[in-house]
Chain A
Amino acid sequence: MRVRKNIATSDEGFLFNPTTGDSFSTNAIGAEIILLMKKDIPTSEVIDTVCEKYDVDRALFERDLEEFTLQLKGHSILE
């Protein structure tokens, strides 16, 4: 789960892919996850951080994260 180097991100969840010209908006939690991904930390650490902060069921979050990751890959945001 690595965000492509050239992807521009903002704290508000705006993403811009300068290769394709596509831009996307995520909600606040999406923005937080992408900022974590940009730190190049293992996926397990992203899951730990979010689960600890938001008291969310781990299995449920893992499923949601997988879906989110697939979307990001589909839009060439992730490598």
Chain B
Amino acid sequence: MKENKRKIVIAVTALNAIDSPGPGVAVIRSIRECNDFDVRIIGLSYESLEPGLYMHDLVDKTYQIPYPTAGTDALLSRLQYIHEKENLELIIPNFDAELFNFIKLRDTLKKMGIATFMPDLEQFEARDKIKLLDFGKKHGFDVPEDKIIHEFRELAKIEEDFEFPLVVKGKFYDAIIANTMEQAEKAYYKILSKWGLPIIVQEFIKGTEINIAALGDGEGNAISVIPMRKLYITDKGKAWAGITLDDETYIELARKFIQVTKWRGGCELEVMLSNDGKPYIMEVNPRFPAWIYLTAASGQNQPANLVKMALGQKVEPFKDYEVGKIFVRYAWDLITDIREFQKISGNGEL
């Protein structure tokens, strides 16, 4: 006899499964794979050509939402409209740039009956790239030295504090390694035009890059920690293949991060294991990474457990996962129809 499971309506953002992918599609895939509940997935998109919009086996219905720069009022108004139609129970935002607005709206959403499971504003801002050095010093994490640049002339003085190579980073995305002052200037302008000010200049740490996907319960407990090493990296620095690792150093590092921040929700620690064996935290992304399906594949389904916690269930920390599990990303030409494109472009719904 078929078991009747309650259908949970979950809205998910970041459906841009492109060469520099958003995590949305991987989050949905993980949630759908969990047998503990049935789901209706509502995609929230920014662009008409985000591939996830057209993946109808994963996404039941999509609505466009305003860009983060439009502010919380515009976002709330759109979410109210979507909620009237879909009766949303949970929203999982997956973009760094949109998180601020969603966090600001958390209490309002809760009153509307929509759950979220995100860090609070203090947690979110403490791990910001701009404050990472202070965060590291405060809690005893190894973090590379950095300097926040607010105008070009500050860059000219950078040689007083840093040796080349160094890393020039945008406040949300992008990092360029500069070997000379000329390269640093070029990187500055490239990132400035894309992401604006401030720009972060960071000490270059030579070593092996490790990424850790973690899920915190908001009370200081790490429900899941999965370390991964990129096996194949695209020209944008994104993992195209990766493998789960077995090293207590990384697991302890992520547990400590979640404990001191009381992190609520998913996050990704970008770690550089220096050649002398120190794990430097290079960045903390306040949401699941695009490779999050690997956590489900290796036995710790982080997105599904976020859903459970968001809906008030108690979840016990995972103990084991499969080491040596590999993901290999691939490109696939999804075929759709002009009518579909017209619907999302013209009506903002598909």
Measured CB to CB, the residues of A under 8 A from B are 6, 8, 16, 18-21
How far in angstroms is the closest Cβ of chain A from B215?
21
Q: CB-CB < 8 A to B246: which residues of A?
A: 6, 18-19
Query: How far, in whole Å, are A20 and B230 apart by their CA atoms in the complex?
Result: 10
Q: CB-CB < 8 A to A21: which residues of B?
A: 229, 231, 242-243, 245
A19 & B245 in contact (Cβ 8 Å cutoff): yes
Interface string of B221-243 (1 = CB under 8 A from A): 00000000101000000000011
B324 & A8 in contact (Cβ 8 Å cutoff): yes
Category for how many chain B residues contact A: 10 to 19
Query: How far, in whole Å, are A8 and B245 apart by their CA atoms in the complex?
Result: 12
Within 8 A of A (CB), among B23-40: none
Known: A6-B246, A16-B324, A21-B229. 16 other contacts (CB 8 A): A8-B324, A18-B245, A18-B246, A18-B247, A18-B323, A18-B324, A19-B245, A19-B246, A19-B247, A20-B208, A20-B229, A20-B245, A21-B231, A21-B242, A21-B243, A21-B245
Q: CB-CB < 8 A to B229: which residues of A?
A: 20-21
Closest to B245 in A: A21
How far in angstroms is the closest Cβ of chain A from B44?
34
9 A-B residue pairs with Cβ-Cβ distance under 8 Å, sorted by A, are: A6-B246, A8-B324, A18-B245, A19-B246, A19-B247, A20-B208, A21-B229, A21-B242, A21-B245
Closest to A21 in B: B229
Query: How far, in whole Å, are A17 and B245 apart by their CA atoms in the complex?
Result: 9
Query: How far, in whole Å, are A26 and B286 apart by their CA atoms in the complex?
Result: 41
Q: CB-CB < 8 A to B243: which residues of A?
A: 21
Closest to B227 in A: A21
Q: CB-CB < 8 A to B245: which residues of A?
A: 18-21
Interface residues of A, dominant DSSP: loop
Query: How far, in whole Å, are A75 and B324 apart by their CA atoms in the complex?
Result: 17
How far in angstroms is the closest Cβ of chain B from A2?
18
How far in angstroms is the closest Cβ of chain B from A50?
29
Q: CB-CB < 8 A to B323: which residues of A?
A: 18
Query: How far, in whole Å, are A8 and B243 apart by their CA atoms in the complex?
Result: 14
Most interface-central of A8, A19, A21 (chain B CB within 10 A)? A21
How far in angstroms is the closest Cβ of chain A from B240?
14
How far in angstroms is the closest Cβ of chain A from B200?
28
Query: How far, in whole Å, are A16 and B247 apart by their CA atoms in the complex?
Result: 14
Q: CB-CB < 8 A to A6: which residues of B?
A: 246
How far in angstroms is the closest Cβ of chain B from A25?
15
How far in angstroms is the closest Cβ of chain B from A8?
7
How far in angstroms is the closest Cβ of chain B from A19?
5
How far in angstroms is the closest Cβ of chain B from A49?
29
Query: How far, in whole Å, are A7 and B324 apart by their CA atoms in the complex?
Result: 11
Q: CB-CB < 8 A to B247: which residues of A?
A: 18-19
How far in angstroms is the closest Cβ of chain A from B228?
8
How far in angstroms is the closest Cβ of chain A from B230?
9
Query: How far, in whole Å, are A6 and B324 apart by their CA atoms in the complex?
Result: 12
Q: CB-CB < 8 A to B242: which residues of A?
A: 21
Closest to A6 in B: B246
Query: How far, in whole Å, are A70 and B242 apart by their CA atoms in the complex?
Result: 27
